Each structure stands twice: as structure tokens, then as C-alpha cells.
């Protein structure tokens, strides 16, 4: 897989990825951190999961380890 460039993501997708770069989080904690309506966040997370960018393991969301994250300077 080529590296994932954060600037190529939609703003909310990028925010989720940036939050999950530091640590994996339970879905409820991520929802609380984002402070957006639950339905909107769930649609966003499902989209990121379908794209293969994030995955949920043992109840926690994390960046899919097959990706390296690059941010152009």
C-alpha cells in the first residue's frame, strides 16, 4: 500500500485519523472527543472502515497497520 497522505482526506476524516494516530480509542470515547452527532460520526467511521483506513479490534478503533501516514511539508 502506498502511504496515506492526510491532506488527501476530507477534513473530518483527517481529524479522526489524526486522533487515532496517537492511540487506539473505544468508539464511544472517539464520539465524545469529536463532539458531533452520533449518526454523523458513525457514517464517517463506517466510510473510513470501508476504505480500509481504520479498523475496530477488541472494541477499539485504530489506524489500519497496513498504512504508513505521511503529511507533506
Question: 4-50, pLDDT tens digit by residue?
Answer: 777 788 999 999 999 998 889 999 999 999 999 999 999 999 999 99
Question: Which grid cell sits at 22?
Answer: 496517537
- What pTM was estimated for this model as a whole? 0.81
Average pLDDT over residues 60-66: 88
The residues with which 56 forms a beta bridge, in sequence order, are 61
Q: What is the pLDDT of residue 52?
A: 87
Angle (CA) 2 48 73, round 5°: 45
Checking if the pLDDT of 71 tops 60, the result is no
| Cα radius of gyration rounded to whole Å, the chain | 12
Band (73; pLDDT cuts 50, 70, 90): very low
Amino acid at each position: 500500500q502506498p502511504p496515506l497522505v492526510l491532506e488527501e482526506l476530507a477534513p473530518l476524516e483527517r481529524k479522526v485519523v489524526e486522533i487515532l494516530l496517537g492511540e487506539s480509542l473505544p468508539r464511544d470515547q472517539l464520539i465524545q472527543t469529536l463532539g458531533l452527532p452520533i449518526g454523523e460520526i458513525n457514517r464517517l467511521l463506517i466510510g473510513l472502515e470501508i476504505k480500509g483506513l481504520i479498523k475496530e479490534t477488541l472494541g477499539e478503533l485504530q489506524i489500519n497497520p497496513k498504512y504508513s501516514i505521511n503529511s507533506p511539508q
